[in-house]
Amino acid sequence: MLHETTQEARRQIEICNACRYCEGYCAVFPAIARARAFADGDIAHLANLCHNCRGCYYACQYTPPHDFAVNLPRVLAEARHQSWADHSWPRGFAPLFDRWGGAIAAVLVLALALIFALAQALRPETGEGFYAHMSHGLMVAIFAPAFVVPLVALAVSLRRYWRAVGGGRPRLADLRAALVSAGRMSNLSGGHGEGCNFEDEDRFSNARRLYHQAVLYGFLLCFAATSSGTVLHYGFDLPAPYPLFSLPKLFGLPGGVLMCIGAAGLAWLKTRADRGLGHPGLWHGEMGFVLLLFAVAATGLALYAATDHPAAGPLLSLHLGTVLTLFLLTPYSKMAHGFYRMAALMREAELQRQVDVSKADLSA
């Protein structure tokens, strides 16, 4: 399957390289134009560099029913997913999530929420806020390994991918360039600033770009909220709950709102987009992941609103279940795409730097 997907992606990329009509659309086409032959690692790099904005498909004169049958967004989506599955560690988990992603996420949330509800029977005699329902020590004992183990699995996967695409020793300048590109979501701008055609062939829109940014920055704010709470707890002996005008709340509340808006917007756009321009077998799993992101943020906001209310206990169980599910599925769900995209953007910055050095040497 990997060979067939890679071969078909190579065939279509070579057609695009001969045409070059879409050269200004996103980073994929300048990257294609740099080469004449494409190894398997090059295909994986281009696939992860693609943000599936679909503008190239609607502009292309060689799409079906033309004999060339070019559908670059779809074939790169298939190659991109195959690269994640091929480099995932342990490899056995990725195919399971491919087939049953949405169901696995739903069952995990419910099962873990039930476990957390039962664990509240061990509630401490003292404690405020959600610590009145579950001790800090128990939360740390559960979430520390659930956070570290998926990160280790993801690190091994990314190392395999980096070696497959021929990446060299990472440089700070390449990381900085990748962070700027990811923060701006420049590859969703359509190359002209008007946006892409993700949900409508004839309509340019920045909606998908803005919703992605809302999820990204909302997630980072929520992570900052958790990190600042950890520093306050261990560094200053100031345990939760925290007042409204504190770093955990000032980061967490807008972060949760942004994640809800972004995830709801992406789910809405996904229902409007042509399923034939993405991986045909992953729509439900990808939608399940987007809804999981929404559930993480929404249950967190609801838990804050229900502080000192009888509903706080059940909401805490549900929120912890969604968060733990997100952590555990990170290496095998759509969550991994952010890390692979960063690696692809770093590799692209590295390749562009090498081109610039070669040009400087030739002109010297």
Distance (Å, whole) CA 281 – CA 263: 21
- The predicted pLDDT at position 2 comes to 52
Residue-wise pLDDT tens digits, 85-123: 889 888 767 667 766 777 888 888 889 888 888 877 766
**Three-point CA angle 153, 320, 182, nearest 5°:** 50
Give tens-digit pLDDT for 285-303.
888 889 999 999 999 999 9
Which residue type sits at 80? Answer: R
Torsion angle, alpha carbons of 66, 69, 72, 76, to 10 = 170
* pLDDT over threshold 80, residue 348: yes
28: Cβ–Cβ under 8 A, 6 or more apart, which residues? 46, 49, 50, 56, 76, 187
Q: Give the pair of three-digit tokens for residue 315.
A: 């909401």
pLDDT score at 197: 80
Instruction: Determine which of 190-199, 260-269, 339-348 has the lowest per-residue pLDDT on average.
Output: 190-199
Structure tokens at 61: 């004169």
Report the pLDDT averaged over residues 236-242.
85
Please report the pLDDT score of residue 1 as a whole number.
45
For residues 112 and 156, the model is more confident at 156
pLDDT at 257 over 80: yes
Q: What is the pLDDT of residue 325?
A: 93
Residue 40 is predicted with a pLDDT of: 95
List pLDDT tens digits, range 176-221.
999 999 998 888 887 666 778 887 777 788 899 999 999 999 999 9
Q: Can you give 211-253 as a three-state secondary structure string?
A: HHHHHHHHHHHHHHHHHHHHHHHHHCCCCCCCCCCCHHHHHHH
pTM higher than 0.85 for the full model? Answer: yes
Q: Is residue 154 scored above 80 in pLDDT?
A: yes
Closest CA to 87 of 41, 51, 52, 46: 41
Higher pLDDT, 92 or 16: 16
Q: At residue 134, does pLDDT exceed 80?
A: no
Place of tokens 């991918």: 161
Dihedral sign from CA coordinates of 203, 206, 209, 214? negative
Model confidence band, residue 45 (pLDDT cutoffs 50, 70, 90) = very high
Phi and psi at residue 90, in whole multiples of 5°? -65, 145
Cis peptide before 170 (omega within 30 of 0): no
Q: Would you tell me the crossing angle of helices 72-87 and 2-19 to the nearest 10 degrees?
A: 140
The residue among 224 and 363 whose pLDDT is bigger is: 224
Mean pLDDT of 301-311: 86
- What integer is the mean pLDDT of 217-230? 95
**pLDDT score, position 162:** 97
Domain limits, the chain: 89-363
- Give CA–CA dist 267/286, Å, rounded: 9
- Largest Cα span, the chain: 75
